[in-house]
Structure 1
Amino acid sequence: MRASWDDLRIFLSVARGGSLSAAGAGLGMDPATVGRRIARLEEALTAPLFVKSPQGYALSGAGERLLPHAQAAEQAALAAEDAVRGQGERLSGVIRVGAPDGCANFLLPQVLSRIGAAHPELELQIVALPRVFNLNRREADMAIGVSAPTAGRVTVQKIADYRLHLAASRVYLDHAPPLATLDDVKNHRIIGYIPDMIFDKELDYLSEIGVSRVDLASNSVSVQFNWARQGAGLAMVHGFAMPAGPELIPVLPRDSTLTRSFWLIRHADDRRVHRMSRIAALMVGEIRAELERLEGAA
């Protein structure tokens, strides 16, 4: 028996989900059925594709070798679907977008809401993770990053620049020591990332303005943002998040404002899938417009 696309589709779901239950949920299948299909595929290929453990399913050596071929079959299926449906019709299907916490919370909800309203047959998913996404394992269909990757089979497009501001709530500033220069920051409580959980050098905001101590730390930008809103101290806040925190006031803007960039990262093979390219173009346009709107409002 040869492996069919349906077999490979199930294999990919287990490889990405790491368990039969996660794959079954994504496929709309019972986990036991997924297990039987994987066992049948392994028997047909005369090789174990996964190593099973209490932590879940990890790819075996044979599974790792099969993975790129299964991904190629997936791309061919998507391209075939594009060809049949035509390029001018409404978009449909599932799209999972990976993004860092700040973008996922303060930009993507409204951006993807607008795209979803225009294309109601699209099922849109946002995955907010405090780390770099592995597109080769299809953790997401496309990802937004704060730096451009230099390795892997991916394509990269700059979306736009954005700003970060040292900010605090009026409640905090009314009772805190004076802030006339960056040197005065050492007299204040500082909110920031847990140092050993900064997964990209572009997120090391505080060291760029000469701050080495963090009093209140989290790997989540949203937690940092809410600490600042509650008057806990000074934090680097995304300019596009400022309208969501009207209590926050930028401080020392000439000395502490930083510029960063968002990048759209896609699997290299997706360039041949018109549907993915259309969605990517819509996202880039909507993110640029939303950044301009929010930073203008701030």
Structure 2
Amino acid sequence: MDWDKLRIFHAVADAGSLTHAGDTLHLSQSAVSRQIRSLEDSLNTTLFHRHARGLILTEQGELLFDATRAMNKRLEAAAARIRDSEEEVFGELKVTTTTGFGTMWLAPRLSKLYEKYPDLKIDLMLEERVLDLPMREADVAIRMKEPSQADLIRKRLMNIRMRLYATQDYIDSHSPIEKLDDVASHRLICQNPNAAQVAAGATLVSHLLSNDVQNTLTVNNYFGALQAVLANLGVGVLPDYLTEDFPQLIRVLPDTESGEVPVFLAYPEELRQSKRVAAFRDFVQEEIFAHRRKIRDQLIPE
């Protein structure tokens, strides 16, 4: 099968238009159209339905587009590996992690990485959905559980727990919280137990709600829950890594916490030699070590 025709087909399928694909490929619309007709003839099938608003893939076209999309991602990965073996640390690095961890812990620390590698471009994708690393939806992932995908290099960074926090202003102006039953008389700020989150956090929230809690504020990520706690709206279920950067958080009910949640950094085996990945991995590990030291120092009385 002609690679050049496949490249043109992929551009047309991606753009949904012969004209837009031609602009991308620097070819005339007629040249693109001829290549598509030639490819359809060689395969003895129709790849596109033509209509006034553009092109729609046929079932056979969808199958071919899935294949060319996978090929394109593999070619991008190969190109990245070649560049990384010859160049300094620069270019785009796609990093995915959860909204909470990425917003509250990772993003505020990235200035240190940019100071060291000013030509690095981080594309930070924050969502609860697990992106497919081998298919290059992202280059590096920080996940709140061990990745199950094959062909990944993984590194356990730390363990976190979900705990109860409030501000001193809130504690001073509301009834005491000395035992678990006392939570019922306060507004509980948390994620809905059915929302996408780590299982340990959902289990803790379900346990707290079983204590006849009447007033709640549910938020679909920990960043929103943090803002509500800092605004003195109630007692929040938050990850313990926040205590370093938000010293105004006071832990409530020290004996109440979730199970341990492992935090893993992972990237595809094919990016083992990537200088960009190595730079990001080393940066995150250094920040984790600094985070642990700071927390340890806070626990040691002067």
Bucket of the pairwise TM-score, normalised by the shorter protein: 0.7 to 0.9
Contact 1:165 1:236 (8 Å CA) reproduced? yes
Q: Is the 8 A contact 2:145 2:262 kept in 1?
A: yes
8 Å contact from structure 1 (residues 159, 288) kept in 2: yes
- Classify 1:84/1:170 alpha carbon distance in 2 versus 1 (closer, same or farther; 3 Å): closer
CA contact (8 A) 1:228 1:235 kept: yes
Please list every run of 5 or more consecutive structure 2 residues that lacks an aligned counterpart in the other structure. Answer: 41-45
User: Is residue 2:278 matched to residue 1:288?
Assistant: no
- Out of 62, 65, 88, the residue aligned to residue 63 of structure 1 is 65
Identity of aligned residues (%): 20
Q: Report the secondary structure of 1:197's partner residue.
A: coil
Q: Does 1:146 align with 2:144?
A: yes
Aligned with residue 105 of structure 1, among 90, 103, 106: 103
Q: Which amino acid aligns with 1:227?
A: A
| Alignment partner, residue 197 of structure 1 | 195
Q: Which residue of 2 aligns with 1:261?
A: 262
Give the Cα–Cα distance (whole angstroms) in 2 for the partners of residues 288 and 44 of structure 1.
Answer: 56
TM-score for both structures, normalised by structure 1: 0.75
Most deviating of 95-104 and 159-168: 159-168
Of the structure 1 ranges 41-50 and 106-115, higher mean CA displacement relative to structure 2 is found in 41-50
Q: CA RMSD in A?
A: 4.0
Which residues of 2 match residues 100-139 of structure 1 at below 5 A?
Answer: 100-139=98-137
State the shift of 1:209 in Å. Answer: 4.9
Whichever residue aligns with residue 124 of structure 1, its letter is I
What is residue 185 of structure 1 aligned with on the other side? 183
Whole-Å Cα distance in 2 between the matches of residues 155 and 49 of structure 1?
Answer: 39
Kindly indicate whether the alpha-carbon contact (under 8 Å) linking 1:229 and 1:245 is maintained by their aligned counterparts in 2: no
Alignment deviations for residues 73-127 of structure 1 (CA, whole Å, 9 cap, x no partner): 2222222223333xxxx30110121111221122212443222211111111222
Q: In the alignment, is the contact (CA less than 8 A) between 1:172 and 1:231 conserved in 2?
A: yes
For the residue of structure 2 that corresponds to 1:195, the secondary structure is coil
Using the size of structure 2 for normalisation, the TM-score is: 0.74
AA aligned opposite 1:242? T
Question: Residue 26 of structure 1 corresponds to which residue in structure 2?
Answer: none
Separation of aligned partners in 2, 1:7 and 1:196 = 43
Rounded to whole Å, the distance in 1 between the matches of 2:240 and 2:152 is 29
Classify 1:63/1:237 alpha carbon distance in 2 versus 1 (closer, same or farther; 3 Å): same
Q: Note the residue ranges of structure 1 that are not aligned, 5 or more in a row.
A: 22-29
How far 1:35 sits from its partner (Å)?
8.3
1:89-104 paired onto structure 2 within 5 Å: 90-104=88-102
Number of residue-to-residue matches in the alignment: 279
Which residue pairs with 2:243 in the alignment? Answer: 242
- CA distance in 2: counterparts of 1:174 and 1:77, whole angstroms: 59
SS at match of 2:194: helix
Q: How far is 1:263 from its partner?
A: 0.8
- Over residues 249-290 of structure 1, what are the superposed CA-to-partner deviations in whole Å (9 max), with x where a residue is unaligned? 10111333653221112233323x332541353244234134
